[in-house]
Amino acid sequence: MARHKLTLKRKRLIAAVAAVGAVAGGLGIAAGANASESKEQPVVKVVVKSVLAPAATADVAPAVTYDTGLAPLGARVQVKEELRRDGGTRIELRLRGLVANRAYGAHVHTKPCGKLPADAGPHYQDQADPVQPSVDPKFANPDNEVWLDVNTNEDGSARAIATVDWRFRAGGARSVVLHEKSTSTHAGHAGTAGARLACVNVPFK
């Protein structure tokens, strides 16, 4: 059998192992940073590394895809959160194995990934819009939310960094969702980026 033709049972096993590795890796990096950081360095709080698994495995997989054409099974994702000394937060997203030369939207969401795209809830907002879904640029903007839009290269890889001057509320941010197109900014559509293609669980601090 070719290496890429995995059974669903095998994919579930890989997903479960990846979940354990993601948590262990994140904790290890965080501990190292706390022990040796200088006054200028941010504190690494969370690092999650995984591969996209089938949506049906969302109960055990740290990352899932809802559209295998635009977010293929096995595509790699990494999210890193750093707490800055000035009270802000830096979030980095790395992706590999997506469609080449294509724009994607990406945002931090309030709930964990589920078997359905909508399970991840709305975007996390520092100042919550009283009107939901939020499409008002006053609230749906990259200063009040975390936007991580990317453009992949010829290898389907991409990297995005977002820095905000606030920190997440405890338990308020639980995932990063990949969308089908770049994020809109105009009134009535602000913050929208088309269909949800994939999701990765991130226990933001």
> DSSP letter string over 129-179?
-SSSS---TTTSSTTTS-B--EE--TTS-EEEEEEESS-PPTTT--EEEEE
pTM of the predicted structure, to 2 decimals: 0.81
pLDDT band per the 50, 70, 90 thresholds, residue 74: very high
Helices (H), the chain: 8-36
pLDDT, position 30: 36
pLDDT, position 44: 85
Query: What percent of the chain is helix, strand and coil (3-state, nearest 5)?
Result: 20, 30, 55
Task: Tell me the residue length of the chain.
Answer: 205
pLDDT, position 130: 97
Give CA–CA dist 30/152, Å, rounded. 28
User: Measuring CA to CA, which residue among 108, 73, 98, 86 is closest to residue 201?
Assistant: 108
pLDDT, position 52: 98
Q: What would the CATH number be for the domain defined by 8-201?
A: 2.60.40.200
Mean pLDDT of the chain: 86
What integer is the mean pLDDT of 71-85? 97
User: Measuring CA to CA, which residue among 44, 19, 49 is closest to residue 29?
Assistant: 44
User: Measuring CA to CA, which residue among 132, 141, 143, 144 is closest to residue 191?
Assistant: 141
Q: What is the pLDDT of residues 150-177, one digit of tens each?
A: 999 999 999 999 999 999 999 999 999 9
How big is the CA angle at 53 (ends 60 and 140), to the nearest 5 degrees? 90
Taking phi over 0 as left and psi of -120 to 50 as alpha, with beta for the rest, 36 belongs to alpha
Q: Higher pLDDT residue, 10 or 107?
A: 107
Q: What is the pLDDT of residues 80-94, one digit of tens each?
A: 999 999 999 999 999
Q: Kindly list the domain boundaries of the chain, sorted by start residue.
A: 8-201
Q: What percent of the chain has pLDDT over 90?
A: 78
Contact by Cβ (8 Å): 109, 117: no
